[in-house]
Amino acid sequence: MSSRSGQNGTVVIAGKWYRVRWRMDVEGQQERINTSERIAPVVFDKHGEPKPPSVEVQRKAREIVEKSGANSEQYFNRVVLGEVTFREQAKTYLRWISTRDREPVKDTCSVEAALSKWILPEIGDLPLGSVNNVTVQPLVSKMKKSLSARSVNTYIAYVQQIVASLKDGETGEPIHQRK
């Protein structure tokens, strides 16, 4: 997202309307699609020629592009990066730890119990990239009230392992680096 600075859209005249054109990312496609929407009827001068778009028309065009979500970081992460939620990655992680070649976990009941009782209700629906110290801190505070320090540390280790389990397909390195 840092390489994209956002777009205002291009105001064009199509027929008897000012229209705004911009590009939208589409889920599952490499290429973006061109999108357009009507803004206002064209204003003509005394010679019958269309006037250039006014400041008000350009402002409305920017508002339409912003409302579409084309510039939002959340939309970009969801569509382009295919960002998964913590809950989805936890399911993948549980499958992986029980089937991995080196030291597979035979009984994942304790991990599943920790996830279902404590972790997933608090941070399950967050995008995996958003899980960090700030978002996990309320969970830690809640767990400290009724769990031992060792249990809290173990459960937070599960969170760290789940976040680190999402790997880049090319390099095999974790996508979300956390310390």
Q: For the chain, how many structural domains are there in total?
A: 2
Based on the domain organization, do 160 and 92 belong to the same domain? yes
Q: Band of the pLDDT at 7, cuts 50, 70, 90?
A: confident
Q: Band of the pLDDT at 114, cuts 50, 70, 90?
A: very high
Residue that finishes a domain, picked among 79, 97, 113: 79
Q: How far apart are CA 50 and CA 160, in angstroms?
A: 60
Based on the domain organization, do 90 and 160 belong to the same domain? yes
Residue 170: pLDDT over 80: no
* Sheet with 33-41, side-by-side order of all strands: 10-14, 17-24, 33-41
Domain assignment present for residue 22? The answer is yes
Based on the domain organization, do 96 and 159 belong to the same domain? yes
CATH number at residue 132: 1.10.150
CB atoms inside a 10 Å sphere around CB 136: 20
Determine what percent of the chain is predicted with pLDDT higher than 70. Answer: 86
Residue that finishes a domain, picked among 63, 79, 95: 79
Average pLDDT over residues 3-12: 76
pLDDT recorded at residue 78: 63
Span 54-108, pLDDT tens digits: 999 999 998 998 888 777 766 666 665 567 889 999 999 999 999 999 999 888 8
pLDDT recorded at residue 2: 47
Range of the domain at 142: 86-164
pLDDT recorded at residue 159: 94
Q: Band of the pLDDT at 28, cuts 50, 70, 90?
A: low
Q: Chain-centre distance of CA 170, in angstroms?
A: 21
pLDDT recorded at residue 29: 66
At 137 the three-state DSSP class reads: helix
Based on the domain organization, do 106 and 40 belong to the same domain? no
| Pair 48, 54: CB distance under 8 Å | no
Based on the domain organization, do 90 and 134 belong to the same domain? yes
Question: pTM above the 0.75 mark?
Answer: no
pLDDT recorded at residue 1: 47
Domain assignment present for residue 172? The answer is no
2-11, 59-68, 83-92, 113-122: which has the minimum mean pLDDT?
A: 2-11
Based on the domain organization, do 111 and 41 belong to the same domain? no
Helix-strand-coil split of the chain, %, nearest 5: 45, 15, 40
Domain assignment present for residue 58? The answer is yes
Q: How far apart are CA 29 and CA 80, in angstroms?
A: 8
Domain assignment present for residue 14? The answer is yes
Q: How far apart are CA 73 and CA 33, in angstroms?
A: 18
Residue that finishes a domain, picked among 79, 110, 137: 79
Residue type, 14: A
Q: How far apart are CA 171 and CA 101, in angstroms?
A: 20
For CA atoms 92, 97, 98, 100, give the dihedral sign: positive
